[in-house]
Structure 1
């Protein structure tokens, strides 16, 4: 089975051909401003990826597969609350599946990546915001309102959501506002690496917020593995620091024996594409 796969993001749309568990003919285009322009762009790429039998899509928003529409909110409002499955199938002339982008990334890790051996798992992706996915008995748990895995909305200290406390982008913004030194997340890490104590303190607060959130998830769900994705997960020290915090919080309550495996994800930029393709294959069996 050969598929065309699309990963719709706020600024760009990635695409590729998928066959025999491999991506090829990868490319991207700027995210269109309207649904009609999105359809045209997809049609153009399908002409470049011939002989496919379906289209698999990773999308922002709460994807309601049963209702065949995308609910919730995202930066691309034109995707929401329309019969998007039916519209795309009619326009593209092929069967179409759509799943949430974080869910797709989690699926890629569970099937082909770091979570292959796991029965119960949590996947958390740390980018500009924080999202993720929950897998129970290797099945994706989406929840009654399709909000399963929206870890960025958790409030580790009861007031501010994790997406504001637990990302390098927002931690760097807080550093800049409080010090007057404008820098990016990458630059904040660089300052800490160079020995800047203030930068280290800001990153320590970020790790604390993530570790406390994972503590709450661990005692609530008891997964055997926590997989961390997003650009920061490529730094070994990030994984190490998060792991230390999680163990500390568990040990403080004398339940360190339930400490899960904490690992970086295997797939990064391709995770959403791969997960979308795997989702298609599972749905169409």
Structure 2
């Protein structure tokens, strides 16, 4: 085993937010975030500024990205939640701009790597990971190995078409899309977050209750379909919504109800990702280790809470 390269700047680029942190000595610190810029030059400038402001002797940068990430070619193929990231050599571009080795991996795959390494899937071989955010991403591990697929598309559950109108799982079950649906139904100009809509639903807003209920319904149908198709030992939920009190238990109950209704003799073991919003960052670090010839052993990850 080679010496672990540290510290590492871990970056998670999402559709609405870019998160980052510093990994060293099995510890994730200096966590922060900023809104995802509208263009690639703006994002690149911001990442360069983050690295410069942290002023640490980074051994490398580990990046989590949306979409079909080709870790060998070093680009996103097809589409992603951040359109301007697609179809150019992002890995090589970042290495040149940041001046250190760079690894890239799909965000849901990063969550899977983190959870299979040190998280809530380390004790099972076969697991599904569903990451709920701007869209719905996912990943699979079978016999402990991350599945990529011929076109690096395994786990892109959000593309599943869910109804005759052609609406996808991401369109119907994403909290971000749910908040936009609420704004549309209320005919308001003010943008809402998913948390806003949950709060309004709790306070008796019937339109908010309708939107939340529909989102949960579609989430349960999609996850039920995954369970009966792939029969995993466990299904882990990631993304900010996974930290919402009662959310995972409610989803498991809904899935189990569908199994009973359709006489599927299965038991749903649904859990939140251990690392919640940090899963993509920690998994990106593991991807960096793997690409640099180091397979870290399992241990006790410590995280600074900020």
Pairwise TM-score range, normalised by the shorter structure? 0.7 to 0.9
Using a 3 Å threshold, how does the CA distance of structure 1 residues 172 and 66 change in structure 2: closer, same or farther? closer
Instruction: Check whether the contact 2:236–2:273 (CA below 8 A) recurs between aligned residues.
Output: yes
Cα distance, 1:227 vs structure 2: 0.9
Cα distance, 1:187 vs structure 2: 3.3
Instruction: Check whether the contact 2:108–2:139 (CA below 8 A) recurs between aligned residues.
Output: yes
What RMSD in Å do the two structures reach over aligned CA positions?
2.6
**Structure 2 unaligned residues grouped into runs of 5+:** 294-306
Q: Distance in 2 between matches of 1:240 and 1:75?
A: 28
Cα distance, 1:223 vs structure 2: 0.8
| Runs of 4+ in structure 1 over 6 Å off | none
The one-character-per-residue Cα deviations of 1:205-248 (angstroms, maximum 9, x if unpaired) are 32221111111111111111111122222223322221122112
Q: 1:236-251 maps to which residues of 2 (within 5 A)?
A: 236-251=245-260
Normalising by structure 1, report the TM-score. 0.86
- The match for 2:105 is 99
The one-character-per-residue Cα deviations of 1:69-101 (angstroms, maximum 9, x if unpaired) are 222223544433223333333343322111112
Normalising by structure 2, report the TM-score. 0.81
- The match for 1:22 is 27
Determine whether 1:84 maps to 2:90: yes
Q: Distance in 2 between matches of 1:79 and 1:102?
A: 16
**Structure 1 unaligned residues grouped into runs of 5+:** none
Q: Distance in 2 between matches of 1:51 and 1:67?
A: 27
Which structure carries more relative contact order (alpha carbon 8 Å, separation 6+)? 2
The one-character-per-residue Cα deviations of 1:178-212 (angstroms, maximum 9, x if unpaired) are 45577643233224334556644443332221111
Cα distance, 1:272 vs structure 2: 1.7
**Correspondence for 1:230 among 228, 235, 239:** 239
Determine whether 1:275 maps to 2:298: no
**Correspondence for 2:175 among 157, 168, 184:** 168
Q: Distance in 2 between matches of 1:50 and 1:85?
A: 21
Using a 3 Å threshold, how does the CA distance of structure 1 residues 119 and 40 change in structure 2: closer, same or farther? same
Determine whether 1:190 maps to 2:199: yes
**Correspondence for 1:219 among 228, 247, 258:** 228
